[in-house]
Chains A and B, each alone.
Chain A
Amino acid sequence: MNYKYNTNKLFYLSEAKMGLKRNIVASTIIVFQCIVCLVLMAITHSDLKQGDTKLRQINDYYNKIHYSLHDEADKDGSFSLYLNSESEYYKLKGFVEELRNNKDINFVNTILQPVTLINQNIPDKFFFQYEEGYAEPADFEKVNDLIIQNSWVKGIQISENVKEIFNLEMDSGTFFSEEDYILDDGPIHSAILGYEYKDYSHVGDKIKIGYLFNIIDFQVIGFLKKDTNVVRNNNIVNIDRYVCIPAFTDLNYNLYPNLAAPALGQQANGQILTLDSTIDVAKMIEQCSLKYGTFKFEVYSDSRNETKNMVKLSDDSLNKIRTMNNALLIFTIVSITMSMISRIQKDYYRFGVQLLCGASIYNILNQVAIELFPVVNIALVFSLIISSIILGFGTYQLLLILVSCIIFCSSMVIPSYVLIKEGINQLIRREE
């Protein structure tokens, strides 16, 4: 045979090409397996990343010490006095504003107050107490020959800091701006709707909302992302079916005298979050209440075991998916390793001939590696395309490149050992 082994790179490539042609079925199987592995890795990585971020955000929330305020105005009858007195209103406003401006604490409002949606044709799932089985159907009233449909729906009033604390994200539109927290004589105010309202409303739609017995015009400025949750009184509340309006910080008392007092009364019963365990919140609230001469408040430290359990379970769930990922990677490496060994077995005599022609074991090793390299790369390219279609572009693509390198290197370890130890040298009866 007039054949001399050439260590030129092009020669390696032509040998690898021939090898691929000879093992087209095995190569296709490897490509398929790598694609499955890499695409699943991309999907699980994206899920894990999102899960980790959400879990970190929830943990950030739980790492703070939680208190909830409950006024005692009903006990001593001061609430009815408060509702009818402007001066009492401003006393409470001073109290609430001091808490809002206190830099050592976060004073948070997530007020679950149902609202009335007027003339909106929406399914029952949005109705107040639907999840308890007590949703009231929409009622109709005749006003100036017009039939008005009132639907009593789930509503939440949120303070400005809720976005940051619960990491609320928008599916479309924008979140409330600072001006949206002012309720004055402006023609229209801003409302955000939960994700499930997306099929029934659009950004820019004008809606009439009955809020604490006052009809106010709102404009939809956005929709929250799917599965948006807030934590309130130790309960995780999913607000996909909620109408969100701002917990107005600046309410024109003269314009809305019947709304300003009850709305502020609700806001005063907010939650306090702090990282500083040295703060005596109960004492602080008592002093603040005395300073403004307003209601007395009871301060409860929230025990959050139930919700914390959910967080722990979520953490466990993420770990299970990580295990799945690791198993998947091992699985793929084992399979490709065996495929490469099979290929070496098949080409046993060809390698022997190449040794006779002057090739070294390491030349052959290179040749085997060069055969695997394009196979893994084809799979990588396909995986990148498929995962980009599913998930869009992102840093996970770097991970895919890294994983494909790991697959390539790990899958070559045992075949290299087999090639060196299996004794192709002995086949041609000479020492390498």
Chain B
Amino acid sequence: MKLRLNIIMVLLIMASMLICLTTIMMYGAIDENNMINRISRGYYGEYATHFKFIDEKDENIKKIITLLKNEEYKDFALIYDGYEAGVRQIYIKGNYDSPPMLRGRFLTEDDFFNNKDLAVIGKDLLKDTYIADGKEVILIDNKQFEIIGVMGYSSASILDKMKVVNFDSLMKNYNNNIYIMDGYSRYGKVGVRKTMDKITELLKGGNIGVEVLDIKPIDTNRLLGMNINTSLVFGLLIICFLLCIYNIYAAWFHHNIRLIGIMKLVGWDIHRIRYYIFIRLFLYSIVGTILGIILSHILKIKIRNNIIIFHILLINLTFLILSMLPTLRRTEKVSVAEVIK
């Protein structure tokens, strides 16, 4: 296959590159902004449910964890914060959002009910750690916890002084009666809300007197009075993205309309012509997309998770193909007489 570079092709590659770059910039910015908001909120989601036990008893939390453990619901975390001590007790079932880690890993479902005392600590607490039995440990409430990860964000944050431990190892009541049920953010706002509603119903029906509280912690959005809906922005951008690609392909199509007419004239069937167009557009777009990814690395556009780059690549390619469909359909309408006259 012979690929000739002309100005339209160069522009097509450049446009694909810029689209990929801007998508990475945009996605990165939205993702970082969400992360900043989450951290500023105390590292839990926007729809986390705060509740309290109506009768404050030590065994309540054990009952509730047993109840949740035996239920089918998953992809959530039960959190109890000892604010002054900087200790967070957490129970995770299924998937849950890991905070930004500097090393090691965050707690997972397998770390619970295994008679393990595990902790993930903030970077500022590293000075309090020591080695015991060949393991890096930290003393929390006169108990040694093995450190499995160190968390921290690029800016100083609440995470830096936080100690997160598995709930079953500590089970301690601090000076508050507030528990937080948080969902896995990957399911989106609706998904998280649904899970939270189900679990809240479960708690209410579990003969443990709980009262759901109307608490919305201050985050950066509330502090700055920001009302922007990043999901809406991203949705509109996806539409713009489709239109942009469509325009690029339309430009290519008009540049090559005579060629397509001649192909028809010499007897190429419509599928062959479509395949010819598809391969060319796809290859140039792929080249542009890959160049965009390389450029984003050169420009040091920060993406927290490299898997996101892969997702962006997939989304870009899907939209490239979708936007190609009208162009491919137009090949049928090309009039040979019209283009060669």
Contacts and interface: CB of A to CB of B under 8 A. Distances in A.
A255 interface: no
A377 interface: no
A47 B226 contact: yes
A32 B237 CA distance: 11
Nearest to B154: A316
A131 B224 contact: no
B214 A50 contact: no
Interface stretch (B19-27, B275-283, B313-321): B19-27
A50 B239 CA distance: 28
A44 B224 CA distance: 13
Contact of A131 (B215, B220, B257): B215
Given A309-B157, A331-B244, A47 B250 contact: no
Contacts of A43: 227-228
Contact of A418 (B7, B176, B246): B7
Nearest to B251: A342
A334 interface: yes
A276 to B, nearest CB: 27
Given A26-B250, A320-B30, A327-B22, A313 B244 contact: no
B238 to A, nearest CB: 11
B251 A334 contact: no
Contact of B52 (A54, A123, A133, A328): A133
Contacts of A314: 36, 40, 220, 223-224
Contacts of B25: 323-324, 326-327
A55 interface: yes
Interface in A304-361: 305-306, 308-310, 312-314, 316-318, 320-321, 323-324, 326-328, 330-332, 334-339, 341-342, 345-346, 348
Contacts of B176: 132-134
B98 interface: no
Contacts, number: 188
B247 interface: yes
A289 B189 CA distance: 56
Interface string B221-242: 1111111100001001101110
A32 B226 contact: no
B244 A125 contact: no
B72 to A, nearest CB: 28
B220 A40 contact: no
Nearest to A307: B223
A422 interface: yes
A50 B227 CA distance: 10
A6 interface: no
Contacts of B203: none
A227 B222 contact: yes
Contacts of A226: 225
**Chain A interface helix/strand/loop/mixed:** helix
A262 interface: no
A19 interface: no
B8 interface: yes
B194 interface: no
A29 interface: yes
Contact of B36 (A131, A134, A316, A327): A316
B18 A330 contact: yes
Contacts of A320: 29-30, 32-33, 36
Nearest to B243: A29
B178 interface: yes
Nearest to A308: B156
B157 A318 contact: no
Given A132-B178, A323-B29, A342-B251, A317 B225 contact: no
23 contacts: A33-B243, A36-B236, A36-B237, A44-B228, A50-B225, A131-B213, A132-B177, A310-B223, A313-B40, A320-B32, A324-B26, A327-B29, A328-B26, A330-B18, A331-B244, A337-B15, A338-B247, A338-B251, A342-B250, A342-B251, A345-B257, A348-B254, A418-B11
Interface of A: 26, 29, 32-33, 36-37, 40, 43-44, 47, 50-51, 54-55, 58, 123-125, 130-134, 226-227, 229, 236, 238, 305-306, 308-310, 312-314, 316-318, 320-321, 323-324, 326-328, 330-332, 334-339, 341-342, 345-346, 348, 414, 418, 421-422
Pairs A-B, 4 closest by C-beta atoms? A133-B177, A335-B244, A345-B254, A342-B251
